[in-house]
Amino acid sequence: MSPRPASSPLDAAPVTDSGPALPRRAVLATGAGAAAVGVLAGAGVAPAEAAGRRVFRHGVASGDPLPRRVVIWTRVTPTSASRPGSGRGPAVTVSWEVATDARFRRVVRRGSFATGPHRDHTVKVDVAGLRPATEYHYRFTYRGARSRVGRLRTAPAATARPRNLRLGIVSCANWQAGFFAAYRALAQRDDLHAVLHLGDYLYEYAPGEYGEGSEERDVRRHDPAREIVSLEDYRRRHAQYKTDPDLQALHARYAFIVTWDDHEVTNDQWRAGAENHQPDEGSYRARRARAHRAYDEWMPVRMGGTAALRDGTRLFRRLRFGRLAEISMLDLRTYRSQQVRTPAPTPVPAPTPGVSDPDRTILGAQQLAWLKASLRRGGAQWKLVGNPVMIAPVTFAALPRDLIAPVNDVTGLLPDDGLPYNVDQWDGYTADRREVFMHIRDRQVTDTVFLTGDIHSGWACELPYDTGAYPVAGGSAGVEFVCTSVTSNNLKDILGVPPRTASRAVEEAIKLNNRHVKYLDFDSHGFSVLDVTAERAQMDWFVIGSRSDRRTSVRHSVSYLTRSGTAKVERARGPVR
């Protein structure tokens, strides 16, 4: 890939003159065809709305809300040839508006944005000059065709003391494994401030790979019909996901705060390679650059602190919500060392050399220093960490820390926190975890909550300083709440067994060996809602029925909370209201 320089005028800040709208006949001349508009009109959809659905067929989105700024996004299809990833179609100008009312009688900001095939006809604007803690509506216009209306809320002022912060929490949405009922249920709520997406927003696999259940059946097939590798491939896959009506509804309803995990590029990636990247697929670094470029184009996120295209520059960043909370979003793929080699499968986990090597990192030196600075920053009470992979130790045969060194004088095999079951998590990079936890202890940091996705299961954990001695001694650095997957396979799916059967034994074995794990559900799909007040942070888990049913049911499952100043997890009586 030969990316266009970031200084290109087409990435510059948009001009502020929206220009006159063209008559409707000009809309019909843009190339997708009057026939499609006629069909929609015949179905009871107004012609202007039909044109908007056609021209803005990938919906609208917003993201990274700050007190006076927010990113808004769309993708325009100006001609029938302007398909995602095609590199075809004209350079065009799209107008945008932000208003305090849904009918746009009180427009407070407007402008225009130049786009074209160089950025896959996406539009991303960092709108400034807004008021803190205020609800806004936004829309886009191209040649008289209008997008659907999106809604968002800006963050409170840095000195404000909001009563609460309520976030939808999601991760791991595999198109081929089912429908996105979790997104539908969140979009139907009216009580959230934003949605936190913790990674695996999309998956790279070809049809027939990693679908639903043990047989990997495709509930619906990926486009393109191959594993994605090229820039065109990644653009098309992003486009496909953004045609899902439930995801479109959720993006239109709430601002997203996102990070990536591995599948936005390919499975189990690290800084110089990936498990699912083969030599015949070309350069891994080129593949990652293409994936990051498409992500930057298609997601409502500031990368490198700006909405301008930067071809995958820094994704880790902070967002402040008054004096109540600050969210630090991590990138745990771009800078990490390669995962250690695990031993051949055995009935119980075996020693895994290298997981405690201080020269190996999951964060990278710059991000580690940045995270430590985030945790010690004053001003916000709750330190929320958007964490793509699990940080709580999940190990077997952990010994108290003061016994590990003598044992290793003899064996040299024991990692710092016991024998890990998943070295793709922080358990495979214990030196970085130890430095973060010791920083929390030494600086007396309180009210730290890691919010995590990735492992397709629900967890509530305390974060012990000394896994082997916990809870008798050592104390806790904070807590971790892990959301389930939207659709991606969990343990019961992989085993092909009914829910709450074989998984129960595994859950109990893990909790028995890890006394800091207070809740574990290997069987459910769905979403979570985090509600933060000055007194506590509470996570509610909601689960869906069948992934194959577009209208499947949704119900509350369980709730856990941590009280301010405790670094402990306890069962809550019910979901927040």
567 contacts: CB under 8 Å, gap ≥ 6: 446, 448, 462, 463, 475, 476, 477, 478, 479
Distance from C-alpha of 329 to C-alpha of 317, rounded to nearest angstrom: 5
Flag the least confident range among 93-107, 510-524, 554-568.
510-524
pLDDT of residue 25: 28
Average pLDDT over residues 504-529: 93
Confidence band (pLDDT; 50, 70, 90) for 18?
very low
pLDDT at 417: 65
Mean pLDDT across the chain: 88
Residue 43 has pLDDT above 80, yes or no: no
What top-level class would CATH report for the domain 155-571?
A: alpha beta
Tokens of 82: 């302007």
Q: Is 90 exceeded by the pLDDT of residue 286?
A: yes
- Listed by start position, the domains of the chain span 1-154, 155-571
Per the DSSP assignment, residues forming a β-bridge with 538 are: 531, 561
pLDDT band for position 344 (cuts 50, 70, 90) = low
Q: Three-class SS of residue 508? A: helix
Q: Tell me: the pLDDT tens digits for 119-160?
A: 999 999 999 999 999 999 999 999 999 999 999 999 999 999
Asked if 147 contacts 141 with a C-beta cutoff of 8 angstroms, the reply is: yes
pLDDT band at 214 (very low <50, low <70, confident <90, very high): confident
The yes-or-no verdict on residue 399 having pLDDT over 60 is: no
CB hemisphere CA count around 229 (13 angstroms): 13
Q: Which of 129, 57, 126 minimizes the C-alpha distance to 301?
A: 126
pLDDT, tens digit (0-9, with 9 covering 90-100), for 81-127: 999 999 999 999 999 999 999 999 999 999 999 999 999 999 999 99
pLDDT > 90? residue 246: yes
455 contact partners, CB below 8 Å, separation of at least 6: 389, 390, 422, 425, 482
Tokens found for residue 146: 């209008």
Kindly report which listed range (48-52, 96-100, 538-542, 550-554) carries the lowest average pLDDT score: 48-52
CB-CB contact of 477 with 408 (8 Å): no
pLDDT tens track for 299-314: 999 998 888 888 778 9
The CA distance from 479 to 484, in Å, is: 17
Q: How far is CA 444 from CA 100, 464, 472, 475, 565, in A?
A: 42, 14, 20, 12, 10
Domain 1-154 is in which class?
A: mainly beta
Tens-place pLDDT, residues 454-505: 999 999 999 999 998 899 988 999 999 999 999 999 999 998 989 888 889 8
Q: What is the DSSP letter of 310?
A: -
The mean per-residue pLDDT over the stretch 394-405 comes to 56
Confidence of residue 563 (pLDDT cuts 50, 70, 90): very high
| Separation CA 91–CA 446 (nearest Å) | 51
Identify the pLDDT of residue 350.
Answer: 59
Q: What is the mean pLDDT of residues 313-333?
A: 97
74: pLDDT strictly greater than 60: yes
For position 293, what pLDDT does the model report?
Answer: 97
pLDDT of 346 = 54
- Is the pLDDT score of 191 beyond 90? yes
Is the confidence at residue 528, as pLDDT, over 60?
yes
- Chain position carrying tokens 């653009």: 235
Quick: pLDDT tens for 410-463.
333 335 666 787 899 999 999 999 999 999 999 999 999 999 999 999 999 999
Sequence-ordered list of residues with C-beta below 8 angstroms from that of 542, at least 6 positions apart, any chain: 182, 185, 526, 527, 528, 529, 554, 555, 556, 557
Share of the chain above pLDDT 70, in %: 86
The predicted pLDDT at position 11 comes to: 30
